[in-house]
Chain A
Amino acid sequence: MLTLRSILRPTRIVDAHCDIPCGVYDPEQARIEAESCLKIIEKYEQNTDEHFRARCINIKEERAELVKHHLDVLWHDYFKPEHVEKYPDLHETFWKATKQASKVKQSLDAGAAKELLSMIDTIDEMWKATGGPGTTRVNGRPS
């Protein structure tokens, strides 16, 4: 008997394979991009050349997108279920931070970029408290 369930059941597993996931996760990556956003907003405010300002907007949006990307990778690849037990607001924190990155992408408000930095710092605290530096950084990295 050919049931819908039997038709939709996969016949085989296909591998989106990676030999060696590098295992390096660091909120610093997101923070540097967020710092770029803030600095670019400041440069935008100090300059009246319309072409320069257009480039600022373009670069800021690119960097804000990278913030979201790096936060996403931390969220779904570094943090584990046991970390969520320790920090029940972990998902909420990431959701708000990535939303804030979207806000920075859309706006030229330096305050929004500063708020994003402080949200990344909150994530950095969770990363440190869950042993992030010890497990993901290469030994001997200068601090």
Chain B
Amino acid sequence: MSTGRGTRLLLVLILVALGASLGRRRLDVVEVRGRSMSPTLLPGDRLVAARLGPRVGDVVLVRDPRDPSRELIKRVTRVDDSAVVLRGDNLAASTDARTFGSVPAATVRWRVVLRYWPIHRAGRLSPPVTHGLESR
């Protein structure tokens, strides 16, 4: 990676400070619970999310369509005109579009931009890991 850890951390701090100054309407910080996004995200990981629309490959935040009191974190695998398909990176242990179908694109308003905690894994998120399970 060309960006040094110090540079990355500085970038995160600037972004978060900016978000805080805007009253967290554009940027926010969240903590992960659960393992459906492992190994990309682990419980306790802290992330910076930006108020941006979904693109394929993004990790996004969305209200659980079956339980609005809960906010989910999943990866976007498909975007149509008005619908977004979500999957957990840990396919063996994730409840996602396979169970609740696609969600309206308008409801996906937060995109994860960076992890800042734990510091040794700070930075941009890695793409999904497949473990070669699909080829079996």
Are A17 and B29 in contact, with the CB atoms below 8 A?
no
**A8 with B117: CB separation less than 8 A:** yes
Chain A residues whose CB sits within 8 angstroms of the CB of B88 once the complex forms: 16, 18
Residues of B within 8 A of A77 (CB): 35
The minimal Cβ–Cβ distance linking A140 to chain B, given in whole angstroms, is 23
With A and B bound together, what is the CA distance between A47 and B135 in angstroms? 24
A2 and B20 contact, CB distance less than 8 A: yes
Contact A22 B93 (CB under 8 A): yes
Whether the Cβ atoms of B93 and A21 lie closer than 8 Å is yes
Q: A81 near B: Cβ within 8 Å?
A: no
Whether the pair B72, A17 counts as a contact (CB closer than 8 A) is yes
Q: Are A16 and B46 in contact (CB under 8 A)?
A: no
Taken together as a complex, chains A and B put the C-alpha atoms of A9 and B19 apart, in Å, by: 12
B132 contacts partner chain A, Cβ-Cβ < 8 Å: yes
Is B120 located at the chain interface by the 8 A CB criterion?
no
- Please, how many angstroms separate the alpha-carbon atoms of A10 and B30 in the complex? 4
**Interface pick from A61-69, A107-115, A131-139:** A61-69
- Chain B proximity mask over A49-89: 1 for CB below 8 Å, otherwise 0: 00000000000001001100100000001000000000000
A15: CB under 8 A from chain B?
Answer: yes
A8 contacts across to B, CB distance below 8 A: 16, 29, 46, 116-117
Rounded to whole Å, the gap between the CB of B123 and the closest CB of chain A is: 15
Q: How far is the CA of A4 from the CA of B21 in the complex (A)?
A: 12
Asked if B55 CB lies within 8 Å of chain A CBs, one says no
Least CB distance, B28 to chain A, in whole angstroms = 6
Q: Which B residues are within 8 Å of any A CB, using their own CB? A: 13, 16-17, 20-21, 24, 28-38, 41, 43, 46-47, 61, 64, 70-74, 88, 90, 92-95, 99, 116-117, 131-133, 135
18 further contact pairs, Cβ within 8 A, besides A8-B29, A17-B34, A18-B88: A7-B20, A10-B46, A11-B28, A11-B30, A12-B28, A13-B31, A13-B71, A14-B33, A14-B73, A15-B72, A16-B33, A16-B35, A17-B95, A18-B90, A18-B95, A62-B132, A65-B132, A69-B133
| Shortest beta-carbon contacts, A-B, top 5 | A10-B31, A16-B34, A16-B37, A14-B73, A16-B36
